[in-house]
Structure 1
Amino acid sequence: MIDRRSVIGAMASVPLAARAAAQAAPASATGMTPWPPAEHFPLWPGRPPGARATLPSPRPSMNGPAGQQQLWLRGIATPIVAVFRPERPDGRAVLTIPGGGYGFVSVQNEGIDVARTLNPHGITVFALAYRLPSEGWDHQADVPLQDAQRAMRLIRANAARYGIDPARLGIVGFSAGGHLAGSLTVGYDDRVYAPVDAADRQSARPRFSGLVYPVASLSTPTTHAGSRDNLLGPHPDPATKARYDSPRRITGTTPPLFLVHAVDDGLVPLDQSLDVLTCARAAKVPVEAHFFEKGGHGFGALGAPEGAPARLWPDLFDRWINHTLGA
């Protein structure tokens, strides 16, 4: 299990308002931002794709050493997107996809804290609390990508409401969330669910993609085995395994890529980002990479110590986005 971050979750088959109230209390008790925030929306109008008769039950938990404990979200039956608006929005937007080995979702470290760092730059941030594939869904490998695609389409369909430019919407993903971000980057048009409403006519393609200490390939020796097994299950068919081997699917039409990794990452080795870098360069896809000597795994947006070089990546990401968009 990946030792980091936080999350409080919503979910199960109770109303959104009731879930929000029920789960804000634990966050307040620990001094963390309540989850979900007041502004959020569900992804699906009814039961999500692949739902079985019995849905997962919410299982938030506190993890980590004393004084640094964070909440992890499990048992997500109703995936949601939280909205974090900047004081001075400039039209740019990012869907942030937290990690957790596809076994939990780390909303604080790689969701709320991402908004805290990017909002001051004028970027509207949407944080995705997606379903976990091994919690009892049909076609389990497709479940996270279903939620990520649907989130992008709903954000674009409601761009005017959020004050964003739908052509300036990108993503950033962390660890296993980096794998999901990579899957969305190369598989934004994969048909993994049947359209449910007009929003599904929108494109799910990100304008740009940030991958932070990502689990990139599920077929190489350096992959994170827990993420692979939680996503694919014990006996994946070769076609499904190949579809989620994201670096091998990078082509000349893939969106520009931004990579962040620590050389001393002992959980998801640097080789995973190097694999993406190599494939992007071969396909002549614009790619920028920042590899920090120290940082370990799971430093998120604010987890690196003050003064550490790894703490600077959100500022570099902001500048890179502007450069990529031609601002």
Structure 2
Amino acid sequence: MDDATGRIDRRALLLGAGAAAMVAGAASAAREPLHTPPGGGELPPAWEAAERIPLWDGAPPGGPFVARKDLERRGPTFVTGVTMPDLHVFQPAKANGRALLVIPGGAYSFVSIRNEGVGVANVFARLGYTVFVLTYRLPGEGWTPRADVPLQDAQRAMRLIRARAARYDVDPAKVAVLGFSAGGHLAASLLTGYDERVYAPRDAADRGSARPDAGGLLYPVIAAAPPLTHPLSAQLLLGSKPDAALVARRSPAQHVTATTPPTFLAHSMDDGAVPWQNSELFLTALKAAKVKAEAHFFEEGGHGYGIGPDNAPAGLWPQLFARWLDRTLG
């Protein structure tokens, strides 16, 4: 481990027989429930004050929608029951010409607005980014086809940001995505499936590209099957008995190509919900495709920390990501 950057020497990961033990440990960790997210209470004032952009004019695609009756309401900062997805816009005091689409996590069972939305937006807006936080539809809440619904919203969000770039003083060639946990799975799906046709075009915005210019993945769910997946995320996205073709289609590491955007990854190796090998899986695919990539594996940090734990090296990820974006976006 490099103390200055948190990078891990890949040679230390290749331990022969010890690798099997790591995978077995990852399988055990993947069976643990998702963390209880920090926060709670009311939505921060910054969220209420932010400009809101509805994604869809009229009913979204992905119907017919049949609402479940057994949804667990988790409070305003852990959003469920999303029927009209949207973007909340956090504008900087002085724009740097770049935009960041932030996708909070929540195991595809809720959207974690406070720690992986507002907190992240505030930090990057102070750095000059125009930040768009995505509240996306949750696939297990009655949408058909469920496995496409989050990607529909992510693609549409990226296209709307570019369509409105001039309004926000954003260069449409400098739009990045940043996703956390299950939101990291959605961000990785956008990085690899930006051109997948998952909805019929609605308006002029849909003539634009949904390809991010760069991506950041924080403790992402990458695998869609055991032993590395997060079981609840996979079940809610794919259903209880998905066929092999659907699992493969929603396994973003299998779809990395030379045209996949440059990607930054950060993951803590004590993550008890989403094993760090998920990030390694995506990194390996990126390097095999010769895509520019950087990864940081931290010894401690756990899962779901959003902007980062104050007293651990994992809390350095925002600075590391910001510097990487400086080099990548220019």
Distance 1:183 1:53 in 2: 22
Deviations 1:96-144 (A, max 9, x none): 0000000000011111111111111111110000000010011000000
Aligned match of 1:314 = 318
Which aligned pairs between 1:68-147 and structure 2 lie closer than 5 A? 71-147=77-153
2:60 to 48, 65, 69: 48
Aligned match of 2:24 = none
Which aligned pairs between 1:111-190 and structure 2 lie closer than 5 A? 111-190=117-196
Distance 2:289 2:306 in 1: 28
CA contact 1:133–1:230 (8 Å) conserved in 2: yes
Q: CA deviation at 1:239?
A: 2.3
Aligned-residue RMSD, C-alpha: 1.8
Distance 1:146 1:53 in 2: 14
Q: CA deviation at 1:48?
A: 0.8
Which aligned pairs between 1:1-327 and structure 2 lie closer than 5 A? 1-2=33-34, 3-5=36-38, 27=42, 32-33=44-45, 35-52=47-64, 54-55=66-67, 60-62=73-75, 71-302=77-308, 304-305=309-310, 307-325=311-329, 327=330
CA contact 1:27–1:34 (8 Å) conserved in 2: no
Deviations 1:19-75 (A, max 9, x none): xxxxxxx626xxx3364444011101011112336557997524xxxxxxx821100
CA contact 1:91–1:164 (8 Å) conserved in 2: yes
2:140 aligned counterpart, secondary structure: coil
CA contact 1:150–1:204 (8 Å) conserved in 2: yes
1:119 aligned counterpart, secondary structure: helix
Return 5+ residue gaps in structure 1 as ranges: 8-25, 63-69
Distance 1:110 1:51 in 2: 28
2:139 aligned counterpart, secondary structure: coil
Cα distance, 1:36–1:218 mapped onto 2, change above 3 Å: farther
Distance 2:294 2:38 in 1: 26
Distance 1:220 1:275 in 2: 13
Return 5+ residue gaps in structure 2 as ranges: 1-32
* Count of paired positions: 296
Distance 1:54 1:154 in 2: 27
Letter of the structure 2 residue corresponding to residue 257 of structure 1: T
Distance 1:188 1:153 in 2: 10
Q: CA deviation at 1:233?
A: 0.4
Distance 1:75 1:56 in 2: 9
CA contact 1:185–1:254 (8 Å) conserved in 2: yes
Distance 2:280 2:267 in 1: 9
Letter of the structure 2 residue corresponding to residue 309 of structure 1: P
TM-score (norm 2): 0.85
The more displaced of 156-165 and 143-152 is: 156-165
CA contact 1:55–1:77 (8 Å) conserved in 2: no
Distance 1:119 1:311 in 2: 18
Cα distance, 1:188–1:5 mapped onto 2, change above 3 Å: farther
Higher relative contact order (CA 8 A, sep 6+): 2
Cα distance, 1:4–1:266 mapped onto 2, change above 3 Å: same
1:134 aligned counterpart, secondary structure: helix
Deviations 1:217-269 (A, max 9, x none): 11241110110000000122332221111011111111001001001101101
